[in-house]
A and B are shown apart, each in its own frame.
Chain A
């Protein structure tokens, strides 16, 4: 049982995506203190960038909102944004961690009124929307983002204009001279929930992403379909703003491929099925084509595949396309061999979406202590430390939440055992 001392212990959760949020909430609601450290300005991770969730096709905003409320209302959870773990010393039950807090240039007094962004004249490519649009150098990811305090780009903070903008803030929340700080904390257990990043599609040369405007990626497509996204949710193609009514999805783009990522990311088949419904729902006269090696509706998602299969305007071609070219009208032309018929095809589309996979953050840049953690050959954490969600394996939200809950339990064990 958690005695008073153990319950006074703190559990550190690194990463504020759906996995980190879950571990934090579960551990705190059981009575433990939690310190949640997120490197980005706002919480939610990749899920915050999704338009809808498979299989229910509801908005991820509500799922996140519930977690944000639980965090807000729980005094046991402290969260730090724009922060990264720099160093961890000690052992289970008794770690000393050094955390670097990067400046937000906006304090918690911010009411989210947006007066600052209205007068800011500097625009930058929006990282939240993968650079598909421009945003102000002082901003919020979107209206539902949490914490709702605005943040300012470091380069902009150095400008004279930033000082002027600070003066107009009615809450007096803007501080362009804010500096980074380093804090030290004692924690009993650490859970890594550093998640994943989309595989860099420019590396897949035969598909011409980065070269052809109308070849995009699945994560960009999530933003394109989102009402908070660059087009307000209109699915149009980047080159000329034409409505994208004939859309192709290429599965395993850079996945299950020894030239790129050798493993299966497990969610991109389902993500494309979900995204096919975005197109079909928006334009009743649209046609969607999915190119695949084999369709992997893992876990209990077979019924979702069956549902999308019922739509006669979604065609399925068993083939990993060999390459993409562009025709005179800017249409990407997908070239390959239909492996069921043996026929060679060259099919033009308005827009091609590359279903790229997940690369782990952990081994590459999350500073998971390498002397303690073991990784598989791709960088997912396999043991030695506690890892939740996609830091441990590429997977969907439901299994991320399961693994995050399990990690909360393991972290509590560590706190109790060594506390």
Chain B
């Protein structure tokens, strides 16, 4: 069987930090380090091998790269110094630009529909609204049920002042600069995408 290297090459060139995947020696340290490994379908190690084996659809449609919580355990331990966390986020982003991702993928939905709107509207994350939007993403009934399920955690966070119940109103200082920065980033990204 001949290997089709076109997908791997695409990832090396277009996915952020993707070229590092070449350096993986398949040792398995990342998989054993990941606190969420039980919930991943494939470990980072497997995902990287799938990229190299040209398994385009399996990789791009997989939910794996949406499972990373950026704990950085794998990065500090990888014997080959692969920036695994960043590679994983890069793959998620790459799958998004390739329009391969299921729009209902929960992490993607949260990122695109809730988080991005929340932070760009005011310039900072407002936890109260962010949580509300996330919970009520699928309608009022589902929202109330999720809220009840998470009650203890929410109360605990309130008590330890990790959740501010008062919604953030207005805008951050220097909001204009913030939006200009975002616009510039979008422009640079569009340029990159055109080039690629």
Contacts and interface: CB of A to CB of B under 8 A. Distances in A.
Given A342-B43, A344-B37, A336 B28 contact: yes
Contacts of B27: 293, 319-320, 339
Contacts of B80: 258
A252 B33 CA distance: 17
Interface string A231-261: 0000000000000000000001000111100
**A contacts with B: majority SS:** loop
B38 A344 contact: yes
Contacts of B189: none
B77 interface: yes
Given A322-B33, A344-B38, A339 B79 contact: no
Contacts of B28: 318-320, 322, 336-339
Among A258, A293, A322, the one with the most B-chain Cβ atoms within 10 Å of its Cβ is: A322
Interface in B27-51: 27-33, 37-38, 42-43, 45-46
A335 interface: yes
Interface string A312-337: 00000011111100000000000111
Contacts of A336: 28-29, 31-32
B79 A320 contact: yes
Contact of B77 (A256, A322, A338): A322
A206 interface: yes
Interface in A285-310: 293
A342 B26 CA distance: 11
A335 B32 contact: yes
Nearest to B31: A337
B23 to A, nearest CB: 10
Given A323-B32, A342-B43, A342-B46, A258 B81 contact: yes
Contact of A257 (B31, B33, B43, B79): B79
B25 interface: yes
A337 B37 contact: yes
A320 B29 contact: yes
B38 to A, nearest CB: 7
Contact of A319 (B32, B42, B81): B32
A338 B27 CA distance: 9
A219 B34 CA distance: 31
B79 A344 contact: no
B55 to A, nearest CB: 14
Nearest to B25: A293
A259 B28 CA distance: 16
A320 B42 CA distance: 17
Interface residues of A, number: 20
A321 B37 CA distance: 14
Q: Max chain A CB contacts within 10 Å: which of B32, B37, B80?
A: B32
Given A322-B32, A344-B37, A337 B77 contact: no
Nearest to B42: A342
B77 A344 contact: no
Nearest to A321: B32
A257 B78 CA distance: 8
A339 B37 contact: no
Nearest to B41: A342
Interface string A335-379: 111110010100000000000000000000000000000000000
Contacts of B79: 252, 256-259, 320
A315 to B, nearest CB: 16
A259 B31 contact: no
A344 B32 CA distance: 7
A378 B28 CA distance: 25
Contacts of B32: 319, 321-323, 335-337, 344
Nearest to A292: B27
Contacts of A344: 31-32, 37-38
Nearest to A293: B27
A344 B33 CA distance: 10
A384 to B, nearest CB: 31
A253 to B, nearest CB: 11
A51 to B, nearest CB: 29
A257 B27 CA distance: 11
Interface string B65-83: 0000000000011011100
Contacts of A258: 79-81
Interface in B1-40: 25-33, 37-38
A250 to B, nearest CB: 11
Nearest to A336: B32
A339 B81 contact: no
A408 to B, nearest CB: 38
11 contacts: A256-B25, A259-B79, A320-B79, A322-B32, A323-B32, A335-B32, A336-B29, A336-B32, A337-B32, A339-B26, A344-B37
Interface of A: 206, 252, 256-259, 293, 318-323, 335-339, 342, 344
- Shortest Cβ-Cβ A-B pairs, 6 listed: A322-B32, A337-B31, A336-B32, A257-B79, A320-B27, A337-B28
Interface of B: 25-33, 37-38, 42-43, 45-46, 76-77, 79-81
Given A258-B80, A337-B37, 6 more contacts: A258-B79, A259-B77, A293-B25, A322-B31, A339-B26, A344-B37
